Amino acid sequence: MDSLLQYLFGAASFMPHGYCLLWRPDLVALHAVSDGLIAIAYLAIPLAILSFLRRREGLRPVERRIALLFVLFIFMCALTHLAGLATLWVPAYGAEGLVKAATAAVSLFTAMTIWSQVPRVLALLSPVELQQINEELQREVEAHRQTTAKLRAAETELNRTLDARTRELQQTSQRFELTLRGSGVSVFQQDRGLTYTWMHNPPAPLRAEDFLGHSDRDLGWPPATLEALQAAKRQVLDNGTTTVVEVPLPLEGRDHWFKLFVEPLRADGEIVGLSCVSIDISDEKRVENQLRVVLRELTHRTKNILMIVQAIARQTARNVESPSDFIKRFSARLSALAGAHDILVNRGWSAASLEELVDDQLAYLPEGPREAVSIEGPPVEIDANQAQNLALAIHELSTNATKFGALSSDRGSGEGGAVEVRWSVETESDGPVVQLSWHESGGPEVAEPLASGFGRLMLEKLVPDAIAGRAEIDFRPDGLRWQVRFPLKTAGTSFSDL
């Protein structure tokens, strides 16, 4: 192994080639730069040939082999120069000789291969001959072009006319499609046997294929719908006059209403079928039904309101001494009722927030007394009847508190009572129950009144009975306390839902 390395890379007695140049910088640089540049050029040329072979298509195998031999030959030349460059500093004369020997072998093989292919290359057409053949082909192509020029001109004109007609048809079809899309309008035709021959924009989820080639009887419409459709269409076929019919059709699990405008389809003066426009009027029908429900509900609720107003008037009249006092008390109670109605109207008459209701009934209080009232409780939605009656109760309590109770003291001097309005929701066997309480404190000493007026009757009897609850009122010396428990009902139908 040591002898092989000495042979390849030089024995100790050998000197680098640079020594022969006396290590003159100019000579060493000249040889090194020259060999280096030649090696770089010899490496770049094979890369260019390989790039050409990769991109060029249609080369024969022999041509590719010759090109690859040139790549190998030039590459070996590059290695020879690199070896010469290395011997300037390293006495690797054995390795340099082997590289030169390999280069010589590749060069001889390349030369012999090229000489062997010379006859084949000479047999190829010369560039002049190829140019003559190409010119002949061009003359034939030109003759063919002249022969087909008139046909192409005619074809161009025909295509131009066809494109114009196609664009017009596409625009018309697009307008037709945009007009019907999402409109609930279907257009179709039937022959005299009432078989569907054309359908556009059928009602979802049906498709045009579900109709074509079938009759109304095949589609399985309900008997009443089928009878109405058949009668209207037969009348048009017999009389030739346009008719309108409204029918329900079951689609997607519910009835949809359609208004059909049926008119005769004529050809050569004879009725050959029907042309029909169908419009989905389900929303209109639902609005009609909703209006009926709203009117019935409005009538019912108006009667209830009038009964409440009548009861308030009757009971108020029993406990007043003058007409002016009656008007004052009656108007105040009607205002309380109106406040509850405003909240219900804003909620579509479906429910009212208990917190909003209490806050609204206390809104008329002056700033001082209003600040003395604290409200606390979870979000609770009560129905319309409960809202109306609780509004009257809160009004009576706040009115009494400002006249005689905790809110009647002078709060400007820093003295005065307070009111706590609290509610909670408890779960019982029959369902959720709301407990609402009114606690007064810090006001004048309280004594139970000798006579029972309408306000007390309302708090103890009328309001609890109206909301199916129970109430207690306690005239404690330190402040009035009222508590009511009533079931939490699910809100009814809202006008806005109808």
* pLDDT tens figures, 77-116: 888 888 888 888 877 777 778 888 888 888 888 888 878 8
Phi/psi of residue 434, nearest 5 degrees = -100, 130
Phi/psi of residue 178, nearest 5 degrees = -65, -35
Specify the CATH number of the domain 287-497: 3.30.565.10
Report the C-alpha gap between 425 and 377 in whole angstroms.
9
Average pLDDT over residues 427-437: 89
Average pLDDT over residues 109-124: 77
For the chain, domain boundaries: 2-123, 185-280, 287-497
Q: Which residues, listed in sequence order, are joined to residue 245 by a DSSP beta bridge?
A: 260
**Residues ≥6 apart with Cβ < 8 Å to 247:** 225, 228, 229, 257, 258, 260
pLDDT > 50? residue 222:
yes
Q: Identify the band that residue 242 occupies on the pLDDT scale cut at 50, 70 and 90.
A: confident
Average pLDDT over residues 238-256: 84
Helix (H, G, I), strand (E, B) or coil at 172: helix
Q: Number of H helices and number of E strands within the chain? A: 14, 12
Residue 67 burial (CB count, 10 A): 16
Average pLDDT over residues 261-273: 88
For residue 81, the model assigns a pLDDT of 85
pLDDT > 60? residue 1:
no
> What is the token pair recorded at 249?
């059709």
pLDDT tens digits, residue range 160-219?
877 777 777 666 566 656 555 555 788 889 998 889 988 888 887 888 888 888 888 888
For residue 171, the model assigns a pLDDT of 66
pLDDT tens digits, residue range 230-239?
888 998 888 8
Q: What is the DSSP letter of 111?
A: H
pLDDT > 80? residue 60:
no
Is residue 54 exposed (0-12), middle (13-18) or buried (19+ Cβ within 10 Å)? Answer: exposed
Has this prediction a pTM greater than 0.75? no
Match domain 185-280 to its CATH number in 3.30.450.20, 3.40.50.970, 3.20.20.70, 3.40.50.300.
3.30.450.20
Instruction: State what percent of residues in the chain have pLDDT above 70.
Output: 77
Of 381, 343, 345, give the one whose Cα is nearest residue 359. Answer: 343
pLDDT > 90? residue 20:
no
Average pLDDT over residues 454-469: 84
Q: What is the DSSP letter of 185?
A: E
pLDDT > 80? residue 19:
no
**Residues ≥6 apart with Cβ < 8 Å to 244:** 259, 260, 261, 262
Report the C-alpha gap between 47 and 54 in whole angstroms.
11
For residue 414, the model assigns a pLDDT of 46
**Chain-centre distance for alpha carbon 474:** 59
Residue 57 burial (CB count, 10 A): 6
For residue 35, the model assigns a pLDDT of 83
Report the C-alpha gap between 259 and 280 in whole angstroms.
7
pLDDT > 80? residue 404:
yes
Residue 346 Cα distances to 92, 114, 386, 495, angstroms: 104, 102, 16, 10
Higher pLDDT, 253 or 41: 41
> What is the token pair recorded at 214?
């079938």
SS (H, E, C) 427-482: EECCEEEEEEEEEEECCCCCCCCCCCCHHHHHHHHHHHHHCCCEEEEEEECCEEEE
pLDDT > 90? residue 319:
no
Helix (H, G, I), strand (E, B) or coil at 201: coil
Q: Identify the band that residue 291 occupies on the pLDDT scale cut at 50, 70 and 90.
A: low
pLDDT > 70? residue 378:
yes
Q: What is the DSSP letter of 406?
A: G
Average pLDDT over residues 351-374: 82
Q: Identify the band that residue 434 occupies on the pLDDT scale cut at 50, 70 and 90.
A: very high
For residue 220, the model assigns a pLDDT of 79
Report the C-alpha gap between 67 and 49 in whole angstroms.
7
Residue type, 17: H
Q: What is the mean pLDDT of the chain?
A: 77
Phi/psi of residue 359, nearest 5 degrees = -65, -40
For residue 320, the model assigns a pLDDT of 53
For residue 362, the model assigns a pLDDT of 83
Higher pLDDT, 202 or 423: 423
> What phi-psi label fits residue 343: left (phi over 0), alpha (psi between -120 and 50 degrees) or beta?
alpha
> What is the token pair recorded at 107?
């060069």
Q: What is the DSSP letter of 57?
A: -
pLDDT > 50? residue 438:
yes
- Contact (CB, 8 A) for 303 and 295: no
Residue type, 256: H
For residue 252, the model assigns a pLDDT of 73
Sign of CA dihedral 193, 199, 203, 207: positive
> What is the token pair recorded at 366?
């002056």
Report the C-alpha gap between 62 and 486 in whole angstroms.
105
pLDDT > 80? residue 247:
yes
H/E stretch holding 255 reads: strand 254-267
> What is the token pair recorded at 250?
């079951």
- Indicate the range of 50-59, 224-233, 263-272, 417-426 predicted with least confidence: 50-59
Report the C-alpha gap between 317 and 117 in whole angstroms.
133
